[in-house]
């Protein structure tokens, strides 16, 4: 491995080359050992400030970043912008300037508008981590998914991964396609044509409309959340029909190879894209994904902020 | 500085051989007038004053973004002697009173002629025809009507509008955008929007309306003009309609001749515009269409916006770019440098034909004795770097910031009176 640092920001899974992505996964493996110790804390980011800037509600992602930062001894500020006066873009800049004045070393940003973390990165000096922007990307989700796959399957290279569901509106799908192709996995997107973006043919992956044809050769099936309100915009006729054609139930799960796993980024719509008995089966990694999320986010914060801390070799050696 | 008589020494009309042009009492004249001010125009290209079919001056209502005074000064600095002021002001220019107000503000400012565009429907709501006849008969003598910013999407209303304005030689300038196909659309739909996760604005949403309105114009014998066509398919449709002999014209913006949707990768809303920046293939087709005359005119769609409406995340930002001061340079960059148009062609697409479409008899005339002395002198060899802080517009949303562009406007004359000299307001 040649990479020792990450780029200043993590805005897109495409920001990471293969070595950098593997550096995150390997660092996360080291940091995961910490979870088994009675004292789960390292002094690495003591005195550094991490701001969780969430313009959208997402308790699970925010908590995951918060736990990750605290285990590295960073000071964590939760800046929940939803419901306050912050609703227009003008305030995005004002918020950025405020955080800048407070000396944030890293800003973890969740926003309903695609590209908002990119704008934020123009206005502040600290590192920006994209924690999900609109229908664009969610790179740490892709990293934790890759981490989970590698742990369960022992490899990523050549792995057949089916990503199933509302690709059009999914930041998880975009980041996964980019990261998994960087890491050598073979991704097939499966969805009704209405839920695939025009231009998907330029992505580094295959596309299918037929879930039953894809399942027997899939090592990993990742089910995406499908929002019921999509049917009102005619993306599909009814949730029942969607579920029949693209839902993962016990019958379909039986078509998978013996060691295949089932993933879901959460929150799930049980009975729509995934049946309860599938979500709760031994193939399911859904709970593991949550635990792995903390390790991967620790690795990202550590590498982003550690990378900026060139003189602090002791602390870096202490964790890696 | 405002002598009544001028000798423009050594100017090159339409890029031809150098001649002396004589101006007296607002007209070009045969002989050197006595007591004339002499301007050394050696080597400068002389074109008829540019005519913009599509300008947003924002007054009344959004004077924080632009006023008639600042917008028309920017126009003069860009070489324009006439602009058509779009109707989507607050209040909307849908009654004689508002169009007359805008027209008078233009007269008072004096930087270029302001021809208000009247709204087609009351409040741009697309439900009921505005009093088009009253606007036509007002002091502003409106001939172009548009709900620009919104599409007249009801086919029956569009048909009636096309029919009704025949009575006074009017034209309906359509902002072709199917509203259902572009709900919450943010950028061109294609490979870039797929990757960037921004809702797509498909080419078909423009082309379907253009096809329909060509057929409607043919059916009722009306005159339709298409604002800011942006796709290769639109060029094909206009070419087809013109081939049938139908009364159809079209404009393209400078930015659609030069910029592509790859710029959206920055998520910088300075590149957010409606219709959106398209692909390199669309740009090539638009250039070909402008070169062969399928597209009649370049129109700026100058759309100033305040900083707070642009310094935001992409989805929250307003659509639009400023363009009056850069239009000629961008057209030179896109069309002249590539050899697709010569100076005569640029004069035709930026002055002669727009004046004809707007029914402006005193604009877009040859630089010949007896004609009104509306002209622009251009230094074809100059190169300059766009600096938004130097703009005369009240807004700063140029997509060309820090870009080096060819050709610079040296002087602009409006009916024999300089509005710009030495590249500065006269």
pLDDT in tens, B341-399: 999 999 999 999 999 999 999 999 999 999 999 999 999 999 999 999 999 999 999 99
- The pLDDT, as a whole number, for residue A87 is 53
- In 3D, which of A228, A233, A268 has the Cα closest to residue A248? A268
Give the pLDDT of residue B345: 98
Provide the pLDDT confidence category of residue B338 given band limits of 50, 70 and 90: very high
Identical topology for domains A13-137+292-319 and A139-289: yes
User: pLDDT grade, residue A231 (50/70/90)?
Assistant: confident
Using CB atoms, which residue from B191, B202, B313 is nearest to A115? Answer: B313
A310 pLDDT higher than 60: no
Tokens 């990119």: give the residue. A118
Please enumerate in sequence order all residues whose Cβ is within 8 A of that of B284, keeping only pairs 6 or more positions apart, or say none. Answer: B232
- Structure confidence by residue, pLDDT tens digits, B292-316: 999 999 999 999 999 999 999 999 9
Q: Nearest to residue B71, comparing CAs of B274, B324, B319?
A: B324
pLDDT for residue A100 is more than 90: no
Q: Which of B213, B212, B236, B323 is nearest to B284 (CA)?
A: B236
Q: Looking at the complex, report in whole angstroms how far the Cα of residue B200 sits from the nearest Cα belonging to chain A.
A: 8
Nearest CB to B197; choose among A89, A171, A198: A171
Percent of chain A exceeding pLDDT 70 equals: 92
- The dihedral of CA B286, B288, B292, B294: what is its sign? negative
Q: Say yes or no for a CB contact (<8 Å) between A92 and B313.
A: yes
Could you tell me the pTM of the whole model?
0.94
Q: Phi/psi at B185 (nearest 5 deg)?
A: -65, 140
Extract the tokens encoding A211. Answer: 């879930």
d(CA B232, CA B226): 14
* Nearest alpha carbon to residue B26 among B388, B371, B273, B405: B371
Residue of chain B whose alpha carbon sits nearest to that of A113: B315
- Whether A83 shows a pLDDT value over 60: the answer reads no
Q: What confidence tier does A320 reach under pLDDT thresholds 50, 70, 90?
A: very low
Q: Measured between alpha carbons, how far is A129 from A107 in angstroms, rounded to an integer?
A: 6
* pLDDT(A63) > 80: yes
- Which residue out of A2, A59, A88, A202 is catalytically annotated? A88
Q: Long-range pairs for B122-128 at CB < 8 Å and ≥24 separation?
A: B122/B92, B122/B94, B123/B92, B123/B94, B124/B87, B124/B88, B124/B92, B124/B94, B124/B149, B124/B150, B126/B150, B126/B151, B126/B152, B126/B153, B126/B154, B126/B157, B127/B154, B127/B157
Kindly report the number of other CB atoms within 10 A of residue B160's CB atom.
17
Nearest to B316 among A89, A118, A133 (CB): A89
Average pLDDT over residues A261-275: 94
In this predicted structure, the answer to whether residue A319 has a pLDDT above a threshold of 50 is no
Q: What are phi and psi of B189, to 5 degrees?
A: -85, 120
Q: Indicate the domain borders of chain B.
A: 49-367+394-403
A139-289 placed in CATH 1.10.760.10? no
In tens, the pLDDT along A105-118 reads 999 999 999 999 99
- Backbone torsions φ then ψ of B405, nearest 5 degrees: -125, 155
**Domain residue limits, chain A:** 13-137+292-319, 139-289
B197 vs A137: CB contact, 8 Å cut-off?
yes
Q: In whole numbers, what is the pLDDT of chain B averaged over residues?
A: 97
Task: Please say if A138 is a catalytic residue.
Answer: yes
- pLDDT at residue A92, as a whole number: 87
Average pLDDT over residues A192-218: 98
State the smallest CA–CA distance between residue A135 and chain B in angstroms.
5
**Residue among A113, A119, A125, A105 at smallest CA distance from A45:** A105
**What is the per-residue pLDDT for A211?**
98
Chain B residues whose beta carbon lies within 8 Å of the beta carbon of residue A137: 197
pLDDT at A315 > cutoff 80: no
Mutate to test the interface with B, among A115, A141, A171 (most CBs of B within 10 A): A115
Residue B159 has which token pair? 């048909």
The pLDDT tens digits for B64-83 are: 999 999 999 999 999 999 99
pLDDT tens-digit series, residues B222-266: 999 999 999 999 999 999 999 999 999 999 999 999 999 999 999
Distance from CA of B389 to the nearest CA of A (A): 20
pLDDT of residue A35: 80
DSSP-assigned beta bridge partners for residue B80: B50
Mean pLDDT is lowest, of A93-97, A148-152, B178-182, B213-217, for: A93-97
Q: Could you tell me the two tokens for A106?
A: 């890293």
pLDDT at A40 over 90: no
SS3 A284: strand
- Of B52, B301, B309, B348, the catalytic one is B301
**Selecting from 3.30.465.10, 2.40.70.10, 3.40.50.1370, 3.40.30.10, what CATH number does the domain A13-137+292-319 have?**
3.40.50.1370
Region label for B51, one of left (φ > 0), alpha (ψ between -120 and 50) or beta (otherwise): beta
Q: What was the pLDDT predicted at B3?
A: 65
What integer pLDDT is reported at residue A34 of this predicted model? 84
Residues A206, A266 contacting (CB under 8 angstroms): no
- What homologous superfamily does CATH list for B49-367+394-403? Metal-dependent hydrolases (3.20.20.140)
Bridge pairing between strands B404-414 and B417-421: antiparallel
**Highest mean pLDDT (candidates A80-94, A230-244, A258-272):** A258-272
* % of chain B residues with pLDDT over 70: 99
Judged against a pLDDT cut of 90, whether residue A262 lies above it is answered with yes
Judged against a pLDDT cut of 80, whether residue A164 lies above it is answered with yes
Report the C-alpha gap between B416 and A99 in whole angstroms: 56
A285-310 mean pLDDT: 86
Question: pLDDT confidence of A311, banded at 50, 70, 90?
Answer: very low
């Amino acid at each position: 491995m040649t990479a020792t640092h990450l780029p200043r920001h993590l805005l897109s899974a495409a920001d990471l080359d293969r070595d950098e992505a593997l550096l995150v996964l390997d660092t996360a493996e080291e940091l995961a050992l910490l979870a088994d110790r009675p004292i789960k804390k390292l002094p690495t980011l003591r005195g550094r400030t991490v701001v969780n800037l969430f313009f959208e509600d997402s308790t699970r992602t925010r908590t995951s970043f918060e736990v990750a930062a605290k285990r590295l001894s960073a000071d964590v500020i939760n800046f929940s912008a939803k419901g306050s006066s912050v609703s227009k873009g003008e305030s995005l800049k004002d918020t950025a300037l405020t955080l800048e004045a407070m000396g944030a070393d890293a800003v973890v940003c969740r926003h309903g508008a695609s590209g908002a973390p990119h704008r934020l990165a123009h206005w502040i000096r600290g590192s920006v981590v994209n924690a999900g922007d609109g229908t664009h990307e969610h790179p740490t989700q892709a990293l934790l998914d890759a981490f989970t796959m590698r742990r369960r399957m022992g490899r990523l290279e050549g792995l057949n991964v089916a990503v199933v569901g509302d690709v059009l509106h999914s930041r998880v799908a975009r980041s996964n396609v980019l990261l998994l192709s960087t890491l050598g996995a073979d991704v097939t997107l499966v969805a009704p044509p209405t839920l695939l973006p025009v231009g998907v043919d330029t992505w580094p992956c295959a596309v299918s409309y037929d879930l039953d044809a894809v399942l027997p050769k899939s090592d990993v099936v990742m089910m995406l959340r499908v929002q019921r309100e999509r049917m009102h915009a005619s993306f599909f006729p009814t949730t029942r029909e969607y579920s029949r054609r693209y839902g993962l139930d016990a019958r379909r799960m039986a078509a998978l190879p013996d060691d295949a796993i089932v993933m879901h980024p959460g929150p799930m719509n049980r009975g729509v894209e995934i049946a309860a008995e599938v979500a709760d089966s031994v193939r399911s990694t859904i709970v593991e994904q949550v635990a792995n999320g903390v390790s991967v986010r620790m690795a990202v914060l550590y590498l982003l902020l550690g990378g900026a801390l060139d003189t602090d070799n002791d602390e870096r050696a202490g964790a890696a | 500085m405002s002598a009544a008589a001028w000798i423009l020494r050594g100017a090159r009309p339409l890029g031809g051989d150098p001649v002396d042009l004589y101006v007296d009492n607002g007209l070009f004249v045969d002989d050197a007038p006595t007591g004339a001010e002499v301007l050394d125009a050696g080597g400068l290209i002389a074109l008829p004053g540019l005519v913009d079919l599509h300008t947003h001056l924002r007054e009344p209502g959004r004077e924080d973004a632009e006023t008639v005074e600042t917008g028309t000064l920017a126009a003069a600095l860009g070489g324009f002697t006439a602009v058509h002021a779009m109707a989507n002001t607050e209040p909307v220019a849908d009654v004689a009173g508002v169009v007359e107000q805008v027209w008078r503000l233009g007269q008072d400012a004096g930087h270029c002629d302001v021809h208000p565009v009247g709204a087609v429907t009351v409040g741009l709501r697309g439900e009921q025809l505005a009093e088009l006849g009253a606007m036509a008969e007002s002091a502003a003598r409106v001939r172009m009507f548009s709900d620009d910013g919104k599409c007249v999407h009801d086919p029956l209303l569009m048909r009636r509008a096309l029919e009704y304005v025949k009575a006074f030689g009017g034209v309906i300038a359509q902002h072709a955008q199917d509203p259902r196909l572009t709900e919450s659309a943010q950028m061109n739909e294609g490979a870039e929007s797929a990757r960037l996760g921004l809702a797509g604005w498909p080419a078909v949403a423009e082309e379907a309306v253009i096809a329909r309105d060509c057929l409607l114009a043919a059916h009722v014998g009306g005159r339709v003009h298409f604002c800011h066509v942006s796709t290769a398919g639109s060029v094909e449709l206009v070419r087809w309609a013109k081939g049938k002999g139908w009364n159809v014209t079209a404009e393209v913006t400078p930015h659609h001749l030069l910029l592509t949707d790859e710029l959206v990768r920055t998520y910088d809303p300075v590149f957010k515009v409606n219709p959106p920046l398209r692909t390199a293939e669309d740009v090539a087709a638009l250039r070909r269409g402008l070169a062969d005359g399928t597209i009649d005119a370049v129109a700026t769609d100058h759309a100033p916006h305040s900083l707070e409406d642009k310094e935001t995340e992409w989805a929250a930002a307003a659509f639009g770019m400023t363009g009056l001061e850069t239009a000629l340079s961008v057209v030179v960059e896109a069309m002249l440098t590539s050899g697709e148009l010569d100076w005569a062609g640029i004069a035709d697409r930026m002055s002669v034909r727009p004046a004809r479409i707007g029914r402006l008899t005193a604009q877009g005339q040859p630089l010949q004795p007896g004609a009104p002395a509306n002209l622009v002198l251009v230094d074809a060899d100059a190169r300059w770097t766009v600096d938004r802080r130097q703009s005369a517009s009240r807004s700063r949303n140029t997509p060309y910031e820090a870009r080096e562009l060819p050709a610079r406007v040296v002087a602009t004359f409006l009916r024999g009176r300089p509005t710009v000299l030495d590249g500065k307001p006269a």
